[in-house]
Amino acid sequence: MTATLIDGKAVAARLRAGLATRIAGLGWAPGLVVVRVGEDPASGVYVRNKDKAAREAGFASRTRHLPEATTEAELLAEIAALNADPAVDGILVQLPLPAHIRAEAAIEAVDPAKDVDGFHPVNAGRLASGLPGLVPCTPRGAMHLLAGAGATLRGARAIVIGRSQIVGRPMAQLLLGADCTVTIAHSRTADLPGECRRADIVVAAVGRPEMVRGDWIKPGAVVIDVGINRLESGKLVGDVAFTEALPHARAITPVPGGVGPMTIACLLENTLEAALARRGA
Ligand SMILES: NC(=O)C1=CN([C@@H]2O[C@H](COP(=O)(O)OP(=O)(O)OC[C@H]3O[C@@H](n4cnc5c(N)ncnc54)[C@H](OP(=O)(O)O)[C@@H]3O)[C@@H](O)[C@H]2O)C=CC1
Ligand SMILES: Nc1nc(=O)c2c([nH]1)NC[C@@H]1CN(c3ccc(C(=O)N[C@@H](CCC(=O)O)C(=O)O)cc3)C=[N+]21
């Protein structure tokens, strides 16, 4: 067997085109503001890509770039102003923030109704309670890819490797909501290869290049590789040893071109949803 490639770039392009069509029919533009503080170099690229994708789909998108020396109080005041601005439907505070600002404080300052990252504890709590709310973009994108790959979720054994607030935990909640039997693995998990070998669905969100080896993949499993790791050579690789996994998996996402583009498309999907909900449309 050799795995089918799950083309996240193509699925994301279709999703964005669908959003563009819906926005063109609205007669008004949903507003997205990305707040960037300081000069984290990777953030520069991500923020530009988000802004470009948002504009192309017809959103009113702008980036608020604050200097590295911005205090936590100043950032919170900026977020409060965006919360109060009726033209703003979605607010994303780009992470990482400078070390002198507490990320939790910034996340909790965002109006949950405008929290298009889905990171606010109100939205995390809604997800964990099975209630509607804004869902984090990367896990949401991963669910779209699983659906597109025709993966059977009900009753399937799924493993999520990683338990971060932004990827692992919400991913596990979404899989649980889709009736998977979910294992959440992390750095203290005993026998990670053994846990992985039982799984019909593998979601790797660790941040360790090619940690998941080919012989950890159950024959016919569907593999979603969230990891984005830049090697010293400059090459981007995932958390899964891609070439090794190919003969075992039924379908697998590449890095790049897998989950990453879906994260941006789902940010736009969340922004449209937030806009429609806020405006009672
Ligand atoms: N494609 C996309 O759009 C996105 C990609 N990413 C990428 O996804 C990856 C994960 O991101 P994020 O969740 O923010 O990372 P975090 O560093 O916040 O979390 C990593 C998780 O992996 C676990 N872990 C670390 N080492 C091991 C190990 N040896 N075995 C098992 N588990 C381990 C940690 O466990 P513990 O909790 O015990 O410390 C932790 O739960 C990164 O490569 C990141 O770049 C992130 C966001 C979006
Ligand atoms: N508040 C906040 N929300 C986020 O969602 C958030 C964040 N902060 N901080 C950083 C991480 C990372 N992230 C990515 C988005 C797109 C790609 C992406 O488009 N990747 C492409 C290109 C990769 C490349 O060439 O660099 C791909 O995988 O094909 C990757 C990673 C969002 N994040």
Q: Whose CA is nearest to atom 14 of ligand 2?
A: 260
CATH, residue 88: 3.40.50.10860
Residues 142, 224, single domain; the answer is yes
1 has pLDDT over 80: no
Q: What is the pLDDT of residue 245?
A: 98
Distance (Å, rounded) from C-alpha 200 to C-alpha 174?
16
Domain region containing 162: 136-260
Residues 144, 253, single domain; the answer is yes
> What number is the average pLDDT over the span 238-248?
98
CATH, residue 243: 3.40.50.720
Q: Give the chain's domain count.
A: 2
Residues 70, 150, single domain; the answer is no
Closest ligand (CA of 138): 1
> What number is the average pLDDT over the span 243-270?
98
**Separation of CA 134 and ligand 1 centre (Å):** 21
Residues 161, 72, single domain; the answer is no
Cis? peptide before 261, omega within 30° of 0? no
Q: Is the pTM of this model over 0.95?
A: yes
Q: What is the pLDDT of residue 254?
A: 98
Residue 117 lies in a domain: no
Residue 85 lies in a domain: yes
Q: Whose CA is nearest to atom 20 of ligand 2?
A: 260
DSSP conformation letters of 68-112? TT--HHHHHHHHHHHHH-TT--EEEE-SSPPTTS-HHHHHHHS-G
- ipTM score for this prediction: 0.98
Q: What is the pLDDT of residue 27?
A: 93
Report the catalytic residues.
50, 94, 117
141 is known to lie in a ligand binding site: no
Q: What is the pLDDT of residue 280?
A: 87
Q: Whose CA is nearest to atom 23 of ligand 2?
A: 256
Which 8-state DSSP code applies to residue 207? -
Using CA atoms of 63, 164, 199, 127 in order, give the dihedral in degrees to the nearest 10.
-70
**Separation of CA 25 and ligand 1 centre (Å):** 39
pLDDT digits (tens, 9 = 90+) for 262-279: 999 999 999 999 999 999
pLDDT digits (tens, 9 = 90+) for 103-122: 999 999 999 999 999 999 99
Residues 107, 150, single domain; the answer is no
**Separation of CA 139 and ligand 1 centre (Å):** 13
Residue 100 lies in a domain: yes
